[in-house]
Amino acid sequence: MFNNLSAELKQYCVITANYWAFTLTDGALRMLVVLYFHQLGYSALEVAFLFLFYEFFGVLTNLLGGWLGARVGLNRTMNVGLLMQVIALLMLTVPGEWLIIPWVMFAQALSGIAKDLNKMSAKSAIKLFVSDHQQDTLYKWVAILTGSKNTLKGVGFFLGGLLLTLVGFQSAMLLMAAGLLVVFCLSLLLLKKDLGRVKRKVKFTELFSKSASVNILSAARLFLFASRDVWFVVALPVYLSETFGWNAWTVGGLIALWIVFYGGIQSITPYFTGKKSGRLPDGKSAVGWAIALAVTPLLVALSLQFSSALFIAGLFLFGALFAINSSLHSYLIVSYAQREGVSLDIGFYYMANALGRLIGTLLSGWVFVSFGLSACLLVASFFIAIAAGISVFLPRHSSLSGDRDSHQDNNI
């Protein structure tokens, strides 16, 4: 069946499979680190600092990775990302007494670099497989890739909690490293050479986007993802463990279910944003959906005063609206990016995404320790409001299959 597919679709499948496998280990690794070190007595702020290099090097990787992808090809940046994740996982298989903070932070730094090389490569490559006049197809493919990735990340969170319970921290790392090494070897054989490589010499100064649309969307993305990670990355797992008394498997299971749900909504986002009426999302859509999302953390914070069931329902409401916002952004950046050197624009955009995650992760530990989960949610609402305000300046269009300029205004 695979042999009957077009060359473009085959490459899309290979890239998607790579992205899926990597995401599974990435989600499991995060949950394993959060829960394992919390069990060892680390505070929420100390756990947050374990991810400092993960997020910080993600910022640098996206900025430099887009440039590298344009120079050496997206196949190479994706494969390097897979190999680096294998190394990061193996670093954490050492005996427990060797798992000191600097060592774990260094392993997390490698994992952060690997994750963003992989993600930047996958998202950039889609642009090369769809013509500029097939924006509806592009939106569908981006939504499927993004949504399925996050669904598997949720499975990874569940897997992390389960593996920690069943086999322990070090054995879990070894099992994941072995599986990802097999994926790396297959990727070397199947992924097209020089994918996305620019024939001309790409200048280092091209790291920074010259597109107003990309710059505005990147700024909105920064605050959008800071709004999620300020309560989700560290504060929520620790809150569930401390307040509800849940064990690692239960915490991992709930967060996994949340991310699976979130990924599922991302996959079908086109149906929520105007596909049936023949419209694609634009700047106006980004503003509207961000405003709807901004109210949700306030409702979740309010639910803390009532019942755990209402609180969990609020989490899933936030997940649904955040998924739509995220998937909408993911389509817009691929649409705005220039075809030649696509990884430059997308790398810059995901640099802003990683910077938002870094800010959110650090604030998640500090705000939670100082003021509690409700304060984290209030900060999240404030950040989303900023993202909505920035999105007002994004370009707008009116048709599904209109001309290219309506979808890629690079000089507004």
pLDDT tens column, 18-28: 888 998 899 89
Half-sphere exposure of 322 (CA within 13 A, CB side): 27
Q: 386 or 242, which is more confident?
A: 386
* Other C-beta atoms lying within 10 Å of the C-beta of residue 57: 21
How many residues are given for the chain? 412
pLDDT range class, residue 202, cuts 50, 70, 90: low
* Angle, CA 88 vertex, CA 83 and CA 94 arms, to 5°: 130
CA–CA gap between residue 306 and residue 298 (Å, rounded): 14
Cβ pair 146, 330 in contact under 8 A:
yes
Provide mean pLDDT across the span 401-411: 38
CA angle 295, 300, 304 (to 5 degrees): 145
Return mean pLDDT, the chain: 81
**Which residues are CB-neighbours of 372 under 8 A, at least 6 positions away?**
none
Q: Which of 3-12, 154-163, 254-263, 361-370 has the lowest mean pLDDT?
A: 3-12
Separation CA 300–CA 295 (nearest Å): 9
10 Å CB burial of residue 197 (0-12, 13-18, 19+) is middle
pLDDT band at 346 (very low <50, low <70, confident <90, very high): confident
Torsion of CA 22, 26, 32, 38, to 10 degrees: 170
Write the secondary structure of 174-200 as one string of H (helix), E (strand) and C (coil): HHHHHHHHHHHHHHHHHCCCCCCCCCC
Q: Measure the CA–CA gap between 322 and 266, rounded to whole angstroms.
A: 9
Mean pLDDT of 365-378: 90
pLDDT band at 400 (very low <50, low <70, confident <90, very high): very low
Residue 192 per-residue DSSP state: P
CA distance 143 to 154: 16
How much is the pLDDT for 84?
A: 93
Global pTM value: 0.74
Please state, in angstroms and rounded to a whole number, the distance separating the CA atoms of residues 18 and 16. 5
Question: Rounded to 5 degrees, what angle do the CA atoms 14, 252, 40 make?
Answer: 115
Task: Report the pLDDT value the prediction gives residue 315, as an integer from 0 to 100.
Answer: 93
* Architecture of domain 2-406 in this structure: Up-down Bundle (1.20)
Q: Compute the distance between CA of residue 365 and CA of residue 379 in angstroms, rounded to an integer.
A: 13
What's the alpha-carbon Rg for the chain, to the nearest Å?
20
Summarised one tens digit per residue, pLDDT across range 276-328 is: 566 777 778 899 999 999 999 999 999 988 888 899 999 999 999 999 999 88
Structure tokens at 136: 């509806």
**Separation CA 250–CA 246 (nearest Å):** 6
d(CA 352, CA 349): 5
Q: How many Å from the N-terminal Cα to the C-terminal Cα in the chain? A: 45
Predicted pLDDT at 85 = 94
List the structure tokens of 71.
Answer: 């120079």
Q: What is the pLDDT of residue 404?
A: 38
Structure confidence by residue, pLDDT tens digits, 56-89: 887 788 777 766 776 777 788 888 999 999 999 9
CA 193 to chain CA mean position, Å: 26
At 219, the amino acid letter reads A
Which percentage of the chain shows pLDDT scores above 70?
A: 83
- The answer to whether residue 357 scores a pLDDT higher than 60 is yes
**What does the domain layout of the chain look like in residue ranges?**
2-406
Are 195 and 290 a contacting pair, CB within 8 Å? no
CA angle 388, 300, 391 (to 5 degrees): 5
Cα–Cα distances in angstroms (integers) from residue 385 to residues 214, 227, 255, 296, in the given order: 19, 10, 25, 11
The predicted structure's pLDDT at residue 293: 95
